[in-house]
Amino acid sequence: MTDTLDPKSFLNPAILLAGTVDDQMYAQFREQLDKAPAEGVIAIELSTLGGDPEIARMIGEDMRYHSEHDDARSFVFLGKTAVYSAGVTLMSFFARENRYLARGTRLMIHERQMHKELAIEGPLTSAIEIVRASLHEIEASISIQNEGFENLIKGSQLTMEQLLQKTPSNWYLSAQEALELGLVQAII
């Protein structure tokens, strides 16, 4: 889509998601997607304080696939109230022109988090492999994170360097700031 949608397009979103981005949200998403109209604008409304980024990516991949292969429907994102963390990850799967925010919505963008204790026991050669495996996990997570960040800023005025400067300490943006940076199409 390239035209800005009328706010009336969002009066009755086909898919309503609220709460933690988790397995339960994914199940609700799939159920609602299956019941969504077979043609027209399909609005996905989301309000979340965050959750599992991999579940957000699963929903996002479903949206990407349907957007590319379902010519009868146009999928658009509506962030409402709070779109934090994994919610922004999901939003990044929508083209910038298909992203909308309700007035008063806040976004929060941060780097992926890791909470892990590294226990090294045994022969020193096996210790190296344990450390190397953890390093590979961190590097892969950073790569996945940055792919999402690139999708998020595509078509905006924000550079990757600017984004990476802000994300280590949780970057909060108002809907208006997100619009001014070109991260979303419009505020409704």
pLDDT of residue 117: 87
Window from 31-40, 58-67, 118-127, 172-181 with minimum mean pLDDT: 118-127
Question: What is the domain extent for residue 77?
Answer: 7-187
Whether 22 is covered by a domain: the verdict is yes
Please report whether residue 2 resides in a domain: no
Is 1 a domain residue?
Answer: no
Can you tell me the mean pLDDT for 25-38? Answer: 97
Residue 110 lies in a domain: yes
- For residue 161, being part of any structural domain is answered with yes
Cβ(10)–Cβ(188) below 8 Å:
yes
Question: How wide is the angle at C-alpha 97 spanned by C-alphas 108 and 51, nearest 5°?
Answer: 30
- Per-residue pLDDT, averaged over 7-24, amounts to 95
The values of phi and psi at residue 115, to 5°, are -130, 100
| Bridging pattern class, strands 99-101 and 15-18 | unpaired
- pLDDT confidence bin for 2, thresholds 50/70/90: low
Instruction: Tally the domains of the chain.
Output: 1
**What would the mean pLDDT of 19-31 be, rounded to a whole number?**
98
Q: Considering Cα of 67, then 188, then 148, then 145, what sign does the dihedral take? A: negative
CA-based max dimension of the chain: 65
Asked whether residue 154 is assigned to any structural domain, the reply reads yes
Mean predicted lDDT score pLDDT of the chain: 94
CATH number for the domain that contains residue 159: 3.90.226.10
DSSP for 10-61, written as a single string: GSS-SEEEES-BSHHHHHHHHHHHHHS-SSEEEEEEEEES-B-HHHHHHHHH
Estimate to the nearest angstrom the gap between the alpha carbon of 35 and the chain centroid: 22
Q: Identify the burial level of 155 via C-beta atoms within 10 angstroms of its C-beta, where 0-12 means exposed, 13-18 middle and 19 or more buried.
A: middle
What is d(CA 45, CA 14) in angstroms, rounded to the nearest whole number?
8
133-171 pLDDT tens trace? 999 999 999 999 889 899 999 999 999 999 999 999 999
pLDDT tens profile 57-83:
999 999 999 999 999 999 999 999 999
Answer whether residue 121 is part of any domain: yes
Is residue 94, in this structure, part of any structural domain at all? yes
| Burial bucket for residue 64 (CB in 10 Å: 0-12, 13-18, 19+) | middle
